[in-house]
Amino acid sequence: MARVAIIKLFTGLNLAPAQLSGELLRAGHPSKIIYLKNYEAHSAEEAKNYEVAEFSGRLFSVDGREVIWNCYKPFTETELELLISELREFKPDAVGFSLYSGIIKESALVTQKIREHFDVPIIWGGAAPTLEPELCIPHADILCINEGEEVIVELANRIDAGLPWDDIEGTWVKAADGTVLKHKNRPNIPLNDIAIPDWRRGSYVHIDSDVVKRGRFPVNLGKEYPIMTQRGCPFSCSFCIESRYQELFGKKDSLRRRDVDVVLEELRWAKQHLDIETILFYDDVFTVNPKWLKEFLPRYKEEIGLPFWCYTYPTTHDVELLKSLKAAGCISITMGVQSGSERILKDYYNRPTKMKRVIEAGREIVEAGLTGFFDLITINEFDREEDLRETFNFLLEFPKELKCLAFGEMISFPTYSYSVMSEKNQLAKQDPNQISVAVADEQPSRAVYDYYHRLYRLTRSDVPVETVRQIGEDRRYREDPTLIDSFLSRKKIRQFTGLSA
């Protein structure tokens, strides 16, 4: 059998290594998962002392901090030597990388180090090879385009049989002469056919701070079990990778869900073999199919019975559905809001949702007795101050029981439709003969954003709504936003899993 090592740079939420390892094990191929380095989050000032991955961004915490995420300490020679030592012990016949667009540079560095010691095919898979294959193929022997379960198994089967692997469907391959063979895409995988992910402790090695930690999960697991019951999304938000996948591979059949029996089989395995206390359903929109949930939720309560968290969308639930989630064990739920400006939602985020419905959806979460959280993107280059004011007015109406862990700055990931709009906007701004999509001086200044971030935080506080409204209308606070600080708490709120932040 072919031995395949799977490398994931930077621990975090990434189900791909576990899924790929599960596929290999089911096919009879030994695998080993190596996590190399940790991501860290630091204040904007402290972040200057760290490397920062590409496409990282700023978060404005509800306790008042400005945080840069995806910081890391530089790779050390000791850490790279430990990686090589682990690979030597495992003796791989192939090495796989799972990566997104922000770590192409780092993945290339580690790939080159491996090439100095091993003459085996190196395959890159994930969002980066799928969206930016031209940037990735110079560094890898083979790229997996789109889903990788069938590709990784076919590669291992061919290596085991001594057969060529340069014509596998769903890949790009770099030939010996440097030419690139671009093979046709595979159809989307029927999700009932995928294996149970490999979360066995013995499969994992974690290298960080010049130390090897064996037999323990990556830090994203612990007492919580991450799972996806479906792939794809019914929506096409301009800043989300799912919209890009729909453009590349077609929207028809892009949203797929596993049968209830299959999902419960995985959860029973996890409950039996792992020391978990909470289930995290990372489906883009868990509430998208009420018929599926009607079958799943009663059985989940009876057969699994663990508390869980999930995502929803303003138009995909009602109070009765939310009450059924709670009855089955849902302890908290997160809803994407992203902006209180219908102009921003419609024209730039491709989320044409009426704010009236968003407010109603929030009230339904409260009525159902669920702990509610929401996501909010508060800085983008198309903002005008009227959009920030509309978001403030929305938050005054949105139930304050729903909390936001942090306000995010929009990140322009490569090839996304939002990013295409951004690129056109930047080019137009530089051309004196054109009128840009957003006039340069219309975007609020950093001082204006700081003022509104304080107001947003204030809407989630214990200060009465009418008092918050008055503060928002009082010019004194606009002229000196620090006056708002006396009303604000620096207390950290609880995470959606119920653990302390």
Per residue, the 3-state secondary structure of 425-437, as one string, reads: HHHHHHCCCCCCC
pLDDT at 442: 79
Per-residue pLDDT of the chain (501 residues; tens, 9 = 90+): 999 999 999 987 779 999 999 999 999 999 999 999 999 999 999 999 999 999 998 999 888 889 999 999 999 999 999 999 999 999 999 999 999 999 999 999 999 999 999 999 999 999 999 999 999 999 999 999 999 999 999 999 999 999 999 999 999 999 989 899 999 999 999 999 999 999 988 889 999 999 999 876 655 567 899 999 999 999 999 999 999 999 999 888 889 999 999 999 999 999 999 889 999 999 999 999 999 999 999 999 999 999 999 999 999 999 999 999 999 999 999 999 999 999 999 999 999 999 999 999 999 999 999 999 999 999 999 999 999 999 999 999 999 999 998 999 999 999 999 999 999 988 888 877 665 544 445 799 999 999 999 999 999 999 999 999 999 999 999 999 999 999 997 666 555 554 433
Rounded alpha-carbon distances, angstroms, from residue 38 to 44, 51, 373, 383, 437: 18, 12, 26, 33, 39
CATH of domain 222-415: 3.20.20.70
pLDDT at 501: 35
pLDDT at 220: 53
Name the helix (H) or strand (E) containing 117: none
Q: What is the CA radius of gyration of the chain?
A: 24
Domain map (residue ranges) of the chain: 4-204, 222-415, 445-488
pLDDT at 253: 81
- In the chain, the amino acid numbered 222 is G
Nearest residue to 14 (alpha-carbon basis) of 84, 97, 86, 80: 97
pLDDT at 434: 61
User: CATH fold of 4-204, please?
Assistant: Rossmann fold (3.40.50)
Rounded Cα–Cα distance for residues 203 and 21 (Å): 8
